[in-house]
Chains A and B, each alone.
Chain A
Amino acid sequence: MEKIIFTGPMGAGKTTAIGAISEVPPISTEVRCSDEGKLRKETTTVAMDYGYFTLEDGSRIHLYGSPGQERFDFMWNILTKGGIGLVLLIDNARPDPLADLVLYLDAFKDFIEQTGAVIGITRLDVSNRVMLSDYTDKLLERGQIFPTFEVDVRISNDVKILIHALLAILQS
């Protein structure tokens, strides 16, 4: 089963991103937020999001979104098994988006090393405390280079550009 994994903190737009390229509306296991997230979203994904698109030969590429909250991190390893690569979405309007970046890169370190990752920064229009260059600087500081773009995951083209970059690094 071929799959692409979407991850990132709660509210970064994983469900929306999957919906932007999936042939079916994303199937989500969402519940009402009961903790600090309630201030930002009414519901959040507790197990996973799921969508897919079909290739010319009829096979499907499955799209999985990990739950955003850290307390569900036991799901992350299960989800990534056999995955093609990682799409990491970071919500720039969260209190410390650079810390989020580091947390997720560390959490998915093994999977990224085996495959590859691309980073989409969302909501740069809402908050510009942290700029796109801050993310690339942070990555350079860690000795990492990943495609890092400012994206609006509601626009399917932006999500396609992320996937395209991911595939480009896997192929080169």
Chain B
Amino acid sequence: MNIYKISVKAFEKMDALLFQSMLQLVQKQLVVPWQFEESANIVVIDAEQPEGKIFWENHPSAKITVLYAKQNIYNAQWFLQKPVRVQPLVQLLNEMATLQTSQELATRASPVSEAKPTKVVPVTNPRSEPKVVATAVIEKPTLIPTISDSSCFNPSYYLIGLLEQAIKTVQPKCLMSADQTPLYVLPQEQRCFTRPISKKLVLLPKSIYALPLEKIKSIDLSVESLRAEVENQALSGYTIDTILWLTALHASQGRLIDNQSKQALVRLKQWPNFAILPHQPAQMNLAAFMLKKTADLSEVAEKTQLPLATVIDFFNACKVLGLVIEATQTETIIAKKDLSEQKRNLLRTILARLRPSSES
């Protein structure tokens, strides 16, 4: 596992000591180990000090800088509010680690030219302007892989990464993308709140579920302010599973989930709860097939006569919800029933008649 290194610049002596002690203190809450070093590529700069201000304005581009100040006066990509506190520090380091890992993977997979972030979006909630404790907001990624340069689907590069983080830190969050209804996450209740979601799955390429991490603004909220927002906007509640499911289906785009072989024999261990998971009729058929026998995904596509990309997206969503079992050999779990063509036609006609509507 990588160890991430961080240093401080222009800190007052007491602040520097406090930062180092706190870094030790929060290690157990971090997704990767972080180490303090005098000279590291990631530098936290006290830009309220003259020396820090100069460094901030002239720092070498190879350094990743974090603004340390009372306010985010430079609209910085990475910001840590003064005085340093445990939760914001944990959140900042975990978000940086997630993005750093993404960079490394991208660099390994295909060399990407380094680009400076373009415009930085100010973090504000148009309705109530909740307090921002530490937020990573980048409109354009520096080295984050884009959908086109990654052949695998890594859930943590998308909304799922932020949801997992919210659950891990038990931190309520408001997650936003441009022009879209915010998604409020209340990990204490394993619930999310947003505008009503249609039960009939409609894949929207620009929805928050399809966006990579760097396009999503994350704002920490208190439980009380989150509840107030949910009430003010009359938002509907959903299980976190519903949001994980939607994200996997939107973001997969035919790419198999990381560390999964296309040749592996798989089956479902139980039915996805379609009463709460938005779905398309084809996914009901996929579930029925994948519960009956183990098969690799190509066979599933062939037998269900569905495009492989559709099968992969569905498989990824089931995998994210922990519904998948891998097997070592082909096995029929439920024997296929022989149905006459007349009976099959009847079932198809009933299906057409009772097609669930898109009501939420």
Contacts of B73 in A (CB 8 A): none
Interchain CB contact (< 8 A) of A53 among B274, B354, B355, B356 = B354
Query: Which of these binds chain B: A32-40, A100-108, A149-157?
Result: A149-157
Q: Does A148 contact B (CB under 8 A)?
A: yes
Contacts of B348 in A (CB 8 A): 171
Q: Are B356 and A161 in contact (CB under 8 A)?
A: yes
Q: Are B355 and A160 in contact (CB under 8 A)?
A: yes
Interface centre among B271, B334, B336, B357 (most CB of A within 10 A): B271
The interface bits of chain B over 321-360 (1 if a CB of A lies within 8 angstroms of the residue's CB, else 0) are 0000000000001101101000010111111111111010
Interface centre among B285, B344, B359 (most CB of A within 10 A): B285
Contacts of B270 in A (CB 8 A): 136, 139-140, 145, 148
**Interface residues, chain B, CB within 8 Å of chain A?**
199, 269-271, 273-276, 281, 284-285, 287-289, 291-292, 304, 333-334, 336-337, 339, 344, 346-357, 359
Query: Which of these binds chain B: A41-49, A55-63, A72-80?
Result: A55-63
| Number of A residues, CB within 8 Å of B | 36
- 5 residue pairs from A and B, CB less than 8 Å apart: A53-B354, A56-B353, A147-B288, A150-B276, A161-B356
Q: Does A164 contact B (CB under 8 A)?
A: yes
**Interface residues, chain A, CB within 8 Å of chain B?**
2, 21, 53-57, 61, 84, 115-116, 120, 132, 136, 139-140, 145-151, 157-158, 160-161, 163-165, 167-172
Interface centre among A54, A163, A169, A172 (most CB of B within 10 A): A172
The 10 closest A-B CB pairs, nearest first, are A149-B275, A172-B288, A168-B288, A160-B356, A147-B271, A168-B284, A136-B270, A172-B289, A169-B288, A167-B347
Q: Are B275 and A161 in contact (CB under 8 A)?
A: yes
Q: Are A2 and B346 in contact (CB under 8 A)?
A: yes
Contacts of B354 in A (CB 8 A): 21, 53, 160, 163-164
Contacts of A167 in B (CB 8 A): 347, 350-351
Q: Are A145 and B291 in contact (CB under 8 A)?
A: yes
Contacts of B336 in A (CB 8 A): 172
Q: Are A56 and B288 in contact (CB under 8 A)?
A: no
Known contacts A55-B349, A56-B352, A57-B349: A164-B291 contact under CB 8 Å:
no
Contacts of A150 in B (CB 8 A): 273, 275-276
Interchain CB contact (< 8 A) of B285 among A116, A160, A161, A172 = A172
Least CB distance from B345 to A in Å reads 10
Interface centre among B271, B275, B352, B359 (most CB of A within 10 A): B275
CB-nearest residue of chain A relative to B275? A149
Bound Cα distance from A167 to B347, whole angstroms: 6
Q: Are B356 and A56 in contact (CB under 8 A)?
A: no
Least CB distance from B124 to A in Å reads 36
Q: Are B291 and A157 in contact (CB under 8 A)?
A: no
Contacts of B349 in A (CB 8 A): 55-57
Interchain CB contact (< 8 A) of A165 among B284, B334, B359 = B284
Bound Cα distance from A151 to B275, whole angstroms: 6
Bound Cα distance from A2 to B357, whole angstroms: 24
Q: Are B275 and A168 in contact (CB under 8 A)?
A: no
Known contacts A149-B274, A150-B275: A171-B353 contact under CB 8 Å:
no
Known contacts A21-B354, A136-B270: A158-B281 contact under CB 8 Å:
no
Interface centre among A61, A120, A139 (most CB of B within 10 A): A61
Known contacts A56-B352, A56-B353: A165-B289 contact under CB 8 Å:
no
Q: Are B344 and A171 in contact (CB under 8 A)?
A: yes
Contacts of B273 in A (CB 8 A): 132, 148-150
Contacts of A161 in B (CB 8 A): 199, 274-275, 356
Contacts of B287 in A (CB 8 A): 147, 165, 168
Bound Cα distance from A56 to B350, whole angstroms: 9
